Amino acid sequence: MTNGVRAVDHEYGEHDPILPAPVDPALDQAPIAQETRLAMYQLQEEIRQVEKELHRLFLEGLVQGTSHLYLGMEATATAFGTALRPDDYTFATYRGHGHTLARGVPMKGVFGEMLGRSSGILGGKGGSMHLTSVEHGMLGSYAIIGAHLTIANGAAWSAKYRGTDQVAVAFFGDGTTNIGAFHEALNFAVVYDLPVIFVCENNLYMEYTAIGDITAVPNPAADRAAAYGLERIIVDGNDADAVYLEASRAIEKARAGGGPSLIESLTYRHGGHSRADPGKYRPQEEIDAWMERDPIATYHQRLLRLGVDEGTLTGISTDVARRVEEAVEHAKASPRPSLEASHTNVYADGGARWRN
Amino acid sequence: MAELSYRDAVARGIAQEMERDERVFLIGEDVAGAGGVFKATVGLLDQFGPGRVVDTPISEQAILGAAMGAAMTGLRPIAEIMFSDFFAVCWDIVVNEIAKARYMTDGQVDVPLVIRSANGGGARFGAQHSQSVENWAMAIPGLKVVAPSTPEDVIGLMAASVRDEDPVLFFEHKTLYSHKGEVPDGEIVDELGKAKVVRKGTDATIVALAMMVPRALEAAERLAEDGISAEVIDVRSLIPLDTATILGSVAKTSRLYTVEENPRVLGWGAEIASIVADEAFWDLDAPVRRITTPHIPLPSSAPLEDDTIPSVERIHREVKESMD
């Protein structure tokens, strides 16, 4: 008798902790303008405070459904959002609040959507997992794993076809690397030399399971790059400067006709997979070590070392807090959508009519 | 006016739209160099070049995802899914992404694309290359669903589909590719959501789609010999559905028959039967009768396949018996 097929030799949740790399001291000297760094500090603060507020609003019952928070992972969306041009395209997952804010989408519309109000950027019809703002280049948050990598290819195809130098970026989690669409999309992007960047935000857990327990290779994205003739790129996803440098390089390459890139950004979520998950399957030592390497704390320290005074940073945080509060109040004061809204925008004529 | 095959009509319809609009391009497996496994896209590569007529890997999700992303950003893709059975491997992109993008974003996103696919049986290809899946597509809000039965309709409905702002699933019938028909010269542009009365009659309404249309017409000829005047309606477009034409005909004939190649359970005719029961019950002199493929996968062997898909004989027999 065997005891069946098992992936790993340890009990669930009792794997060895995976610890973050130390901060790279050389990044203090990275050629990034002070102004850009302050903008990235502010953006990370915005995402952090919006997510914390959303969590609080869940507990109050004002946000319903599910939600996948980006707490602890803010550096990646921030750095890409900062490095992209306004006419570039972003494709995110259901963990896409940060990527949406990073494209400059106003908080009011985001909170409105999260509270299911008519002031939401999707009129209350999309919700947490589908944040989209075409006018900001935020071409959507996609909630079926893998799909949007193929769709980002299409936007990149279109840019190339139309002769623009726009690029498309698709963000996704480590779990996505094990679905077919990931592999279809990578092959496709390379075959047609598309200006697209695939960014795997590896937070070490595919929902409730350690990614290493169910993946054939240790680095789920980077170790697959060679199969598609792509460079193996791993970046410290908890350091906005590290991501910014890598993002800029990949964007420039794609814009210049150099084709796609695949970047694995190592990071960690503060909480569980979604609202329902306390994340208890993670070793405490691991959680503690990653909390120490929190991207905003890391960035705060760097800015102080670079001569920014504490008061400036506090001022940024205070200003963000005020804007978050205003946006929440705006959402709370906004009406719920009229019931007719359910029947609009199914088809291009604005309605839902399927027969005469 | 010239005689054209249904297969050549596909290429002509696509060419007509590609000539007119530079945003239109064609992608799919073997569509370019090989001219399509059904030879329905022959000549397009030569005419429009490799930048607009593009062979892809066997990656149905990647094909449709690329079409969607391109459509969202200003282009008008025509994507081919070689056999409609293969929709099962990319149904996520069709159902969760393409069909819902406009709705979920409250109208921010347009997805004007056409997905062509060879649908239906009669070619002895067996259960994984013969299905009629138009009813899968019809069940998804946000999609439009078209299935032409003649070469002229192929061109006109292709044009209407490419020019439509919504995503259209365009089902070509693989057994009709060799069928020929008269086609006018010059540009042909039809309209989605218009059924066509292809034979006038007074005693019974037979509603059919794609390959079932020529079979229904032939059955109607035989019924005429029996003294039964059958009106035959080619539905052409399942979404939008031209119920006015169907209800109008039933009001006149008082009898409704649907002839469906899709398997029986929840086939498109069930929706039509339901609408007629709701809205024209008092017009009816007899129960609505659905003539369909049974609720089985399609067998390969010729006598078995011929026994499952509604034949001229079966349509004739079922209508005649029920009217005796």
Under 8 Å between Cβ of A151 and B21: no
Measured between alpha carbons, how far is A335 from A332 in angstroms, rounded to an integer? 8
Give me the architecture of the A32-323 domain, per CATH. Answer: 3-Layer(aba) Sandwich (3.40)
- Structure-token pair, residue B32: 């370019």
Q: Is B295 a catalytic residue?
A: no
Residues forming a β-bridge with B119: B173
For residue A1, pLDDT beyond 60: no
For residue B97, the 8-state DSSP code is: I
Fold of B2-183: Rossmann fold (3.40.50)
Under 8 Å between Cβ of A250 and A244: no
Contacts of A3 (CB under 8 A, 6+ apart): none
Contact A188 B72 (CB under 8 A): no
Query: What angle, 0 to 180 degrees and rounded to 10, lies between the N-to-C axes of helices B243-253 and B268-279?
Result: 60
Measured between alpha carbons, how far is B127 from B300 in angstroms, rounded to an integer? 7
Mean pLDDT across B259-270: 98
Which residue from B234, B224, B159 is spatially nearest to B190, judged by alpha carbons? Answer: B159
Q: Is there a shared CATH topology between the B2-183 domain and the B196-323 domain?
A: yes
In chain B, which among 15-54 make CB contacts under 8 A with chain A? 25, 51, 54
Q: How confident is the model at residue A8 (pLDDT cuts 50, 70, 90)?
A: confident
Q: Give the closest-approach CA distance of A69 to chain B in angstroms.
A: 20
Measured between CA atoms, the residue of chain A closest to residue B109 is: A134
Measured between alpha carbons, how far is A204 from A207 in angstroms, rounded to an integer? 9
Mean pLDDT across B159-174: 98
| Beta strand extents in chain B (DSSP E only) | 2-5, 24-28, 53-55, 76-83, 114-119, 144-146, 168-173, 180-183, 196-199, 204-208, 230-234, 237-239, 256-263, 289-293
Q: Are strands A168-173 and A89-93 parallel, antiparallel or unpaired?
A: parallel
Closest partner residue to B97 (CB to CB) among A147, A192, A344 is A147
Which residue from B216, B211, B141, B130 is spatially nearest to B176, judged by alpha carbons? Answer: B211
* pLDDT of amino acid A2: 56
For residue B85, pLDDT beyond 90: yes
Among residues B129, B173, B179, B295, the one annotated as catalytic is B129
Q: Which amino acid is at B261?
A: E
Q: What would the CATH number be for the domain defined by B196-323?
A: 3.40.50.920
Which residue from A41, A86, A50 is spatially nearest to A244, judged by alpha carbons? Answer: A41
Contact B70 A158 (CB under 8 A): yes
pLDDT tens for each residue of A73-127: 999 999 999 999 999 999 999 999 999 999 999 999 999 999 999 999 999 999 9
B73 touches chain A (CB under 8 A): yes
Q: Are strands A233-236 and B204-208 parallel, antiparallel or unpaired?
A: unpaired
CB burial of B290-323 (b: ≥16 within 10 Å; e: otherwise) equals bbbbeeeebbeeeeebeebbbbbebbbebbbeeb
pLDDT tens for each residue of B213-261: 999 999 999 999 999 999 999 999 999 999 999 999 999 999 999 999 9
* Residue ranges per structural domain of chain A: 32-323
Measured between CA atoms, the residue of chain B closest to residue A354 is: B240
B109 touches chain A (CB under 8 A): yes
Closest partner residue to A150 (CB to CB) among B25, B93, B107 is B93
Closest partner residue to A154 (CB to CB) among B68, B96, B110 is B68
Query: What angle, 0 to 180 degrees and rounded to 10, lies between the N-to-C axes of helices A34-59 and A310-333?
Result: 40
ipTM (interface predicted TM): 0.97
* Residue ranges per structural domain of chain B: 2-183, 196-323
Cis omega before residue A106 (within 30°)? no
Q: Give the closest-approach CA distance of B4 to chain A in angstroms.
A: 31
Which residue from B265, B113, B285 is spatially nearest to B205, judged by alpha carbons? Answer: B285
Closest partner residue to B242 (CB to CB) among A153, A158, A356 is A356
Which residue from B183, B164, B210 is spatially nearest to B9, judged by alpha carbons? Answer: B183
Q: How confident is the model at residue A175 (pLDDT cuts 50, 70, 90)?
A: very high
Contact B61 A345 (CB under 8 A): no
B284 touches chain A (CB under 8 A): no
Contact B240 A354 (CB under 8 A): yes
Contacts of B279 (CB under 8 A, 6+ apart): B243, B247
